[in-house]
Each structure stands twice: as C-alpha cells, then as structure tokens.
Amino acid sequence: MKTPEPRPGAAQQSSSPGDERAVHGIWSGTISFSLVAIPVQLVKAVEPGRVSFRLLHDKDYSPLVRRMFCPREGALVPPEEIIRGFEIGPGKYLAVTDEELESVSPERSRTIEIVDFIDLEEVAPVYFDHPYYLIPAKGGEKAYGLLAEVMSRTSKAGLAKFVLHEREYPVLLKSTAGALALITLHYHDEILGAEDILPPEAEVDEEEKRRIKTSIKNLLADFDPRKYADARRQRIIDLLKKKAKEQGEVEAPAVAEEGGEGPADLIAALEESMRRVKQQ
Amino acid sequence: MAGRAIWKGAVHFGDLEVPVKLHTAVKENRIQFHLLHQPDGVKLQQQMVCAYEKTPVPAAEQTKGFELEEGRFILVDPEELEETEPQSSRLIEVHEFVKTVQIDPIFLERLYYLEPDASPKGYNALAAALEELDAAGVCTWTMRKRSYLGALQARGKLLRLNTLRYADEVIPVTSLGLRKFSLSDKELKIGGDLINQLTVSFEPQKFANEHLAKLQGLLEKKARGEKIALLRPRRLPPTAPDQLLKALEASLKQVA
C-alpha cells in the first residue's frame, strides 16, 4: 500500500474521499464533457471546526500515532505489508489489490465524465452528501474557468460518477464563486422513505397555518451562517487559555523522522562533495 | 421506511412548540473491506503507538493534550472538558427564516426526518406554511452533548432537519489561489449553448450504482480462484487553451 494513513475504505473508517486529509489533492484526474477535457485535482472544501486534541503517552507526553498491529505475530505492521481484504467467511478473507479495484471501473477511476447537465434547483437537498473543490491542473485553467463561468450564468450543474478505491460516487459539479465544487450525492435507493412516520391526520388547520406564515414572514432574513458560531468551541478555547496560564505546557521528547534521511539530502550531499572535488 | 428514532425534542419559535422525533434519512449501501497483513492474511487491529518508544500504549496510560506547536502540549482533564459541554436541552430553537434557495449545498451536512411526537396539528400547519413560503428555519439545538446548527424545511407533509456546517468550517474559494483567465464572448456563448443542449431533468432514480454489482462480480470471481484481467485507467489528454473554442464547436455540432 502506498499510503499508510487511514484511507477511504480502510476498515473502521468512514469512507468518504476526504479521509486522506492530504494537503495536496485527494485525487487527480480529468473532467470531461463532450469533447472537452480538463485536468483537475480534488481538494477538500470543508474542515471540521472542532478543537482537536491529541492522545499522549502519560509517561513522557509523546504523541500517540495510529498503527496497524498483527495479533498473530504480536507486532506492528509496516504500511507496505498492509493489504485490503473482503470477508468471505468467519475469519476468512480474500485479498484485493488497488490495481484489481481500479479494474472494476477503469474508465471512471481517472475521469469525471459529465453525462448530463441539470438545473441546479431541481436537486432536493436530501441528495447532497459531502462537498469538495476541484482545482485546475496545469494547462486546464482556461477550460476550467469556462465551465465554472458558463454553469454559473446558466444556473446549471453537471452530473457524473467517479470511482475512488472501492467506491463509486455519483457527484454533482457546480460553480461557486468562480470555482468548481464537487458534491458527492447519495444514490436514490440510499434515501429512506418516510411514509411510516408521516402524521396520521393530514388535515391542516388553516387558521394555524396563516398565523405561522405571518410569524415566518416577520422572521425572514438573508441566509448568513456567519451569524452562528459553535458555542462549545469558544468555551474549549477559553479553557485552554486559562490552562496555558495556570499550569503551562509540557514538551514531548524529540523523535527522529520516520523513514530516515530523504533522498533530497543525499543528492545535496553528493553535489556538495562533487563541488569540493572539482575545486581541488 | 425511515431509520430509527435517535432523539426527541421540540421545534420552537414565538409561541409555537412542535414536539418531534428525529429519524435518520439515509442508509448507505456498500461493500466493507478490512485491512490484512499480507504474508498470512490475518486481520489487523488498530493500536495507539508511542511515537518515542514505538510501542503500543494501553488506554490507561493515554492522556489528552492540545498541540500548541510541534511537540508542545497543554494537558486537559476529561472532567474539565466535560464542563465545556453545552447544557442539555430539548428545544430546536428557530432564530430566523430564509428562502431555501439561499442555502448553498456546501453547508448541508446530515439529514433527519421529523416525526410528530404529539397531536399533529402544529406539525401539519408548520409543514404547510414552510412549503408554501419555500422557506427554511435556521435553528440551533443540543443533541448528545454537541451544539448543532440546522435548517428546518418541509417537503410535502414531512418536516426535515438538515444539520449545517458552521461558516468557519467551509474553506473559502479565495484560498484556492485560482487565477482568472479571459474568455471570449464566443467561447462563453458556445459553451452556454452546449450545456443547454446537454441539459436534462434531474431523475435520481435513474442513477444506479452499477459499480457495486461489478465489484461484487470481481469478488466472486476471485473467490472461485479465477484470474482477474487488470485494466489500466486511461487519462484523457487535456484540451489545450487555444483548442478550446474548436472543441466546443465540434461538441455542439455533435449534440445538436
């Protein structure tokens, strides 16, 4: 496996493409519609605002890292020895490689092919799952700009499917402030019916409805989510400030980077020695 | 059928109070994979490992810290953190109403269906009023020790509640560093014509998960010990900026 960190489809992880938490793209490929192809990268559009804590070892305050452990050998397993498996019976697994997964839908693994455009307002909010942004890769900037501008002017959105690891995502591409947003959708059959919880009497009290409509109109405003902040987050930040003042901070022992020296340093060292040889 | 009820509360604004139960609205259908150790196919477990000693650390020796910068932490007691939890309440407090079209889907997080938890008189009237005005109530509530922001909407006779992301959780487009490219009127015109030609009405029931069945097929084949033919994904060559107009014109010709 190439990436040691939790990834879409890894067991116990919710498998949305954002789980990789990469600074650079989560995925790279091409958007296509008709005869136009735009190279892009998929990046995250939202970041959970929860103040996040790290787990530490209480002995030395070293941060803890998540690693995979083999119960049979009683030892930690390096990332290159981790494979994906499908359970075919109790304790029996079928190993499946990334290449095999890509073979299931190769045409959708690197291409977001917009098959249809739709009027954005036709999509009920229930279908939306998780948002991302697409950013143009080198050479794709102009066609990207065109697609964003034209979808914005026409209030249209593009529909496509794409495959990341073991999952296929129906997606909607829309324009947002000059950028392209990609929002994964739920499949229609994943949306549950509500017939069983609807009110037993369907009758609407007209008088009551009129009264409610009046109060709604009185409270009508423009949507501005900036007005609302997570009160708990502020309380945690206040607590942290107080603790920083009262008890100070702790320091973890320094740890050498895993994987040792990178090749860049090696090349720099070689070049440096070459230079010295030449000078002599 | 709706998912099970997960919470009970009451929608509140002005002198209106509508008791409701929250139900989950989405159930994902997917194939679950596990992580295995390659040499022997043993299912792996996750463990928290000390970055310094490189050994697994049992839960009793774990503590929580907020990282100020690399390697420097403020320690926090679980009891103190608990004190920051919002006060529990059963009210879904509606602060204001907005036109539903104003809510950018980027803010939508998770959907719940609301079931009336008492006489449906208030419920029915509220659903009808919201539907007729095409309005959504911006509301806050506390559920399972977390404060939520949400949009209360109606669809037919049903009330639905969508949790919303807080504004500072959405990454602004300006941080993407996009450069503006000048587009000619002709490119915009033909691009618009092409998209209009390709527009259909949204029919989500037609959008099936074909991949799931294919993946199941692959797994069955593997389970029978058959060999899998590996197919490589192809990358399409990008449309060069000076070829864009030509590509748009050719596309339009093709679909018109």
User: Residues A44-51: what's their mean pLDDT?
Assistant: 85
Q: Is residue B188 a part of any domain in this protein?
A: no
Residue B162 is predicted with a pLDDT of 96
Query: Looking at chain A, which residue has its C-alpha nearest residue B35?
Result: A84
Q: Is residue B148 a part of any domain in this protein?
A: yes
User: Strand A92-96's sheet: what is its strand order?
Assistant: A92-96, A82-89, B34-37
Q: Which residues of A202-223 are buried (b: 16+ CB within 10 A; e: fewer)?
A: eebeeebbebbbebbeebeeeb
Q: Is residue B9 a part of any domain in this protein?
A: yes
Give me chain A's average pLDDT, please: 81
Query: Looking at chain A, which residue has its C-alpha nearest residue B87?
Result: A232
Contact A69, A52 (CB under 8 A): no
Residue A23 is predicted with a pLDDT of 41
Domain of residue B97: give its range. 5-27+86-168
Say yes or no to pLDDT of A64 above 80: yes
Q: What's the pTM value of the predicted model, to 2 decimals? A: 0.83
CA-to-CA dists, residue A245 to A164, A237, A240, angstroms: 46, 13, 9
Tell me how close the Cα of A279 comes to any Cα of chain B, in angstroms: 40
Say yes or no to pLDDT of B205 above 60: yes
Q: Where are the domains of chain A?
A: 17-49+68-192
Say yes or no to pLDDT of A259 above 70: no
Q: Which residues between 54 and 83 in chain A have a beta carbon less than 8 angstroms from any beta carbon of chain B?
A: 54-73, 76-77, 81-83
Q: Is residue B208 a part of any domain in this protein?
A: no
With left for phi above 0 and alpha for psi between -120 and 50, is residue A21 left, alpha or beta? Answer: left
Banded pLDDT at B170 (limits 50, 70, 90): very high
Say yes or no to pLDDT of A280 above 90: no
B212, A34: Cβ pair inside 8 Å?
no
Residue A7 is predicted with a pLDDT of 33
Tokens 């973890």: give the residue.
A252
A82, B57: Cβ pair inside 8 Å?
no
Residue B232 carries which DSSP code? P
Burial zone of B76 (CB within 10 Å; 0-12 exposed, 13-18 middle, 19+ buried): buried
How many beta carbons lie within 10 A of that of residue A5, not counting itself? 13
CATH topology of domain A17-49+68-192: Ku70; Chain: A; Domain 2 (2.40.290)
Residue A256 is predicted with a pLDDT of 61
Q: Which residues between 58 and 117 in chain B have a beta carbon less than 8 angstroms from any beta carbon of chain A?
A: 61-68, 71-76, 80-81, 83-86, 94-108, 111, 113, 115-116
User: Residues A126-151: what's their mean pLDDT?
Assistant: 95
Max avg pLDDT among A129-143, A246-260, A264-278, B198-212: A129-143
Structure tokens at B200: 């259909």
Q: How far apart are CA A30 and CA A39, in angstroms?
A: 4
Q: Which residues between 97 and 126 in chain A have a beta carbon less than 8 angstroms from any beta carbon of chain B?
A: 99-111, 114, 116-119, 121-126
Query: Looking at chain B, which residue has its C-alpha nearest residue A14?
Result: B32
Banded pLDDT at B150 (limits 50, 70, 90): very high
Residue A24 is predicted with a pLDDT of 60
User: Residues A18-31: what's their mean pLDDT?
Assistant: 65
Residue A257 is predicted with a pLDDT of 52
Banded pLDDT at A13 (limits 50, 70, 90): very low
**Chain B contact for A256 (CB, 8 A cutoff):** no
Nearest CB partner across the interface for A64, out of B35, B51, B123 = B51
Nearest CB partner across the interface for A65, out of B43, B49, B107 = B49
Q: How many CB pairs under 8 A join A and B?
A: 539
Q: How far apart are CA A143 and CA A136, in angstroms?
A: 9
Residue A168 is predicted with a pLDDT of 87
Q: Is residue B63 a part of any domain in this protein?
A: no
* Residue among B164, B125, B170, B168 at smallest CA distance from B148: B164
Burial zone of B151 (CB within 10 Å; 0-12 exposed, 13-18 middle, 19+ buried): buried
Banded pLDDT at B113 (limits 50, 70, 90): very high
B contacts of A102 (beta carbons < 8 Å)? 230-233
Q: Is residue B68 a part of any domain in this protein?
A: no
Helix locations, A79-140, DSSP H = 98-104, 106-109
Listed in sequence order, the residues at least 6 apart from B226 whose beta carbon sits closer than 8 Å to its beta carbon are none
- ipTM score for this prediction: 0.89
Residue B255 is predicted with a pLDDT of 87
Q: Which residues between 132 and 151 in chain B have a beta carbon less than 8 angstroms from any beta carbon of chain A?
A: 132-133, 135, 137-138, 140, 146-147, 149, 151
More confident residue, A86 or A269: A86
Any idea what the CATH number is for the domain that residue B11 is in?
Answer: 2.40.290.10
pLDDT more than 70, % of chain A: 82
Query: Looking at chain A, which residue has its C-alpha nearest residue B192?
Result: A150
Q: State how many domains chain B has.
A: 1
Element (H, E) at B132: helix B121-133
More confident residue, B60 or A255: B60
Q: What are phi and psi of B181, to 5 degrees?
A: -110, 140
Residue B193 is predicted with a pLDDT of 95
Contact A31, A132 (CB under 8 A): no
Residue A26 is predicted with a pLDDT of 86
Q: How far apart are CA B28 and CA B8, in angstroms?
A: 24
Q: Is residue B220 a part of any domain in this protein?
A: no
